[in-house]
């Protein structure tokens, strides 16, 4: 009787493990599907932020060293206020570029640590030129498509 109880308990445990594992797989599949749908829903709105902002930050820093707030301001100026990235979007990019060795940030006053000035590194300059060359045909193609759609609709 005791052996039967252990066998039943082990069988019940295995059954419960299988049920939990299947539930886990189902929920993970639902999460992946939701994530894909979210990406599809937001991807067109994130073209600027995800695709163009990092290279534009490198472009601005290729012109002159500056801080994150000034980068956002310069992008806004250069696009006639049609694109005004938030500093909340700029600083994570600066941090990532800095960790990749593409830029270097130095405090204007190391004691006060008030404003960090970013400069492009030699490696960053090479990466900027490489990305610029890779993106040019893709941006031109996107502009052509937008013009065709615009002319078709209007």
Q: Which residues contact 51 (CB under 8 A, 6 or more apart)?
A: 135
As a three-state string, the secondary structure of 58-82 is HHHHHHCCECHHHHHHHHHHHCCCC
pLDDT of residue 44: 39
- Per-residue model confidence (pLDDT) at position 36: 66
Region 11-36: mean pLDDT is 81
The CA distance from 62 to 151, in Å, is 35
pLDDT bin (cut points 50, 70, 90) of residue 7 is low
Q: Shortest CA distance to 85 belongs to which of 119, 135, 51? A: 51
Q: How far apart are CA 137 and CA 154, in angstroms?
A: 25
**Whether residue 75 has pLDDT greater than 80:** yes
Closest CA to 124 of 149, 86, 93: 93
pLDDT at 30 over 90: no
- Provide the token pair at 132: 């610029």
Give the C-alpha distances (Å, rounded to integers) separating 43 from 86, 103, 144.
18, 27, 19
Res 149 pLDDT > 80? yes
Mean pLDDT of 128-137: 92
pLDDT of 46 reads 45
Q: Average per-residue pLDDT in the chain?
A: 84
User: Which CATH number fits the domain 52-149, given the four candidates 3.30.360.10, 1.10.10.10, 1.20.120.1200, 2.40.10.120?
Assistant: 1.10.10.10
Asked whether the beta carbons of 118 and 105 are under 8 A apart, the reply is: yes
Core vs surface per residue 7-16: b (16+ CB within 10 A) or e: eeeeeeeeee
């Amino acid at each position: 009787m005791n052996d039967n109880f252990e066998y039943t308990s082990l069988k019940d445990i295995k059954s419960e493990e299988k049920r939990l594992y299947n539930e886990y797989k189902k929920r993970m599949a639902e999460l992946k599907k939701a994530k894909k749908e979210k990406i599809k829903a937001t991807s067109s709105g994130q073209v600027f932020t995800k695709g163009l902002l990092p290279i534009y930050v490198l472009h601005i820093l290729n012109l002159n060293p500056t801080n994150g707030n000034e980068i956002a301001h310069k992008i806004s100026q250069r696009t006639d206020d049609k694109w005004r990235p938030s500093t909340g979007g700029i600083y994570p990019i600066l941090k990532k570029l800095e960790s990749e060795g593409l830029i270097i940030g130095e405090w204007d006053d190391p004691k006060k640590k008030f404003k960090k000035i970013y400069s492009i590194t030699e490696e960053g300059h090479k990466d900027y030129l490489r990305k610029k060359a890779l993106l040019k045909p893709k941006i031109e193609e996107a502009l052509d498509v937008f013009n065709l759609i615009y002319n078709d609709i209007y």
